[in-house]
Amino acid sequence: MTYAGTLKVTTPSELEIAMSRVFDAPRSLVFEALTKPELVKRWLGVHHGFTLEVCEIDLRIGGAYRYVWHGPEGVVMGMCGTYVEVVAPERIVTTEKFDESWYPGEAVGTLSLVEQDGRTTLTLNVLYESKEARDFVLKTPMREGVEAGYDQLAVVLSALKTD
């Protein structure tokens, strides 16, 4: 299995983390895999023994989303947010808040998809309320988790392309 790219993580400002990855799939297919619950459940956070048990998506401005993962030893982790902007298939802006907050405040994620020659660059820019929140997240295994999820997303996209 080959992947179109690896995760790149940068810090554009004291409050932001930007992550990007190239996928070997058209933008419309990537957008679909990011927004359809039956597809999201196949890749988002489903590694290291975790499953995405709840995946609710109301993809419209003001609509909400809710994710709940179940993991080893009875671990349950939930998060939710609202859609601030939806421009299919190129941009989604959401708020983000975990049920048991592991960083202070709420974050805002701006996801953009840019297609070139049938490959799509996904960029997620997360804006935190404080430098302390951003720095705390940088010290967690967030990068490894996102990378594992995006690797699984690449597998899902590959399967969708052959269907």
Picking from 39, 43, 69, the residue whose alpha carbon sits closest to that of residue 54 is 69
Strands of 91-98's sheet in order across: 8-10, 16-23, 119-127, 107-116, 91-98, 76-87, 64-70, 51-57
- Count Cα neighbours of 107 within 13 Å in the Cβ-side half-sphere: 27
* Dist CA 4 CA 158 (whole Å): 11
At 71, is the secondary structure helix, strand, or coil?
coil
Condensed to tens digits (0 to 9), the pLDDT of residues 47-93 reads 999 999 999 999 999 999 999 999 999 999 999 999 999 999 999 99
At 66, is the secondary structure helix, strand, or coil?
strand
Condensed to tens digits (0 to 9), the pLDDT of residues 86-141 reads 999 999 999 999 999 888 889 999 999 999 999 999 999 999 999 999 999 999 99
pLDDT surpassing 50 at residue 161:
yes
Average pLDDT, integer, range 28-38 = 98
pLDDT surpassing 80 at residue 43:
yes
pLDDT surpassing 60 at residue 1:
no
Where helices occur in the chain by DSSP H, the ranges are: 27-35, 37-40, 131-138, 142-162
pLDDT of residue 5: 64
* Dist CA 81 CA 64 (whole Å): 6
pLDDT surpassing 70 at residue 4:
no
Sign of CA dihedral 108, 71, 99, 85: positive
Q: E strands within the chain? A: 8-10, 16-23, 51-57, 64-70, 76-87, 91-98, 107-116, 119-127
- 31 exposed, middle or buried (CB, 10 Å; 0-12, 13-18, 19+)? buried
pLDDT of residue 59: 98
* R_g of the chain computed on alpha carbons: 15
pLDDT of residue 163: 77
